[in-house]
Amino acid sequence: MSETVKKRSKSRVSGVDRFLTFIRVLMATLIVLGVVAFISQQIWPNNPFAEWRNPDARGLTGDQFKGLVVSGLSQGAMYGLIALGYSMVYGVLGFINFAHGEVFMVGTMSGWITSEKLNDAGLWESNFILSLFLIIFVAITTSTVTAVITERIAYRPLRNSPRLIPLITSIGVSFFIQNAALGLFGPASKGYPRLPEWLAKQRSILTVEIAGTKILVMVVAGLSMACLWYLVERTQTGRAMRAVAEDKEIASLMGINVNRTIVITFAVGGAMAGVGGILWGLLFRSVTHMTGFLPGIKAFTAAVVGGIGNMGGAMAGGIALGSAESIAPMVILEPLGVPGVSQLKDAIAFTVLVLVLLFKPAGLFGERLSQEDRG
């Protein structure tokens, strides 16, 4: 009887493997066909395949392609900043905090409130640099406080529970923060004040035309990542965070305050989300109570793509995801004759997640897990 069960189990496993192999081959084939169609379209716009599949497509100019790359990098940098919070919490506690997207939304919303007050006072136009520092400070503060409160009230009592329980709790916290923002500010979209002309205008850098807001996003994201790297790799707090991620019990025996370290981890992740929230508000200039939902899910995707628990991987995954969202519709889908490619960015993002899970489940840079996870 047991031999029969084993044979059936092996048969099911082999069937799943064959199906996954088929999916891998299918998706890889579609990507290759799309790229080949794009290249042929660039070289020979009126080739029979292009005319057959999508006669309206005419390829991309060099400037258009550069614009897509810049857009992908700037949006990916914001995904990366949010993804850092997912990776840090997972690295220390081993669970996914799905309320992190709402921490990002709180930063965006508080930045909008502050920018409106500064605009009413005339400071937004007269001294934009000071206003920028003020809204970043407020966003970091509110997002950090939100992250710390959720850790203290919602997650700390469940720390020794099965991992599914804090995961479900994080979804509940997410809905609570969303509805709190809805009750306080209403469902209508709120717009950030108009940006100064000197910031919004296009600039030419190495023959690439880039809007000043996108330069700001990439510079601030890079500086934030550098500060986080220094904190984690070069400070006593960072060493404590790495020790707690490795083994909480041994870290406690070494004199490390585990609770304090976990709070700091949530606080730092919240601060990164706050910075990302301000950059999102400046780039897209609108915020609602749902602003954190889709970027939060995509940031989680970015963390998985880079390797959940790996901070460098989170930023790299964010940039890879943003670039794929920006470039793939025009480079892969349009040459294949897929209609409405500009509306398929979300589908592209989650297709990237599926591809990574199929070909490299641990993420592009592997995952750094605590000793508890490895066991």
Q: Does this model's pTM top 0.75?
A: yes
Domains of the chain from N-terminus onward: 67-159+206-374 (1.10.3470)
pLDDT of residue 374: 37
Query: pLDDT digit string (tens) for 272-317?
Result: 999 999 999 999 888 999 999 999 999 999 999 988 878 888 899 9
Q: 203: which strand partners?
A: 210
Q: 190: which strand partners?
A: 287
Instruction: Pick the range with the lowest mean pLDDT from 48-62, 82-96, 208-222, 348-362.
Output: 48-62
pLDDT of residue 192: 93
Average pLDDT over residues 72-89: 91
Query: pLDDT digit string (tens) for 159-189?
Result: 888 888 988 999 999 999 999 999 999 999 9
Radius of gyration of the chain (CA): 23
Whether 11 shows a pLDDT value over 60: the answer reads: no
Whether 243 shows a pLDDT value over 70: the answer reads: yes
Using 50, 70 and 90 to split pLDDT, how confident is the model at 78? very high
* DSSP letter string, 92-127: HHSS--TTHHHHHHHHHHHHHHHHHHHHHTTHHHH-
Whether 3 shows a pLDDT value over 60: the answer reads: no
| Residue 157, both tokens | 């009592």
% the chain with pLDDT above 90: 45
C-alpha distances in Å from residue 59, one per residue of 36, 51, 64, 263:
12, 12, 10, 50
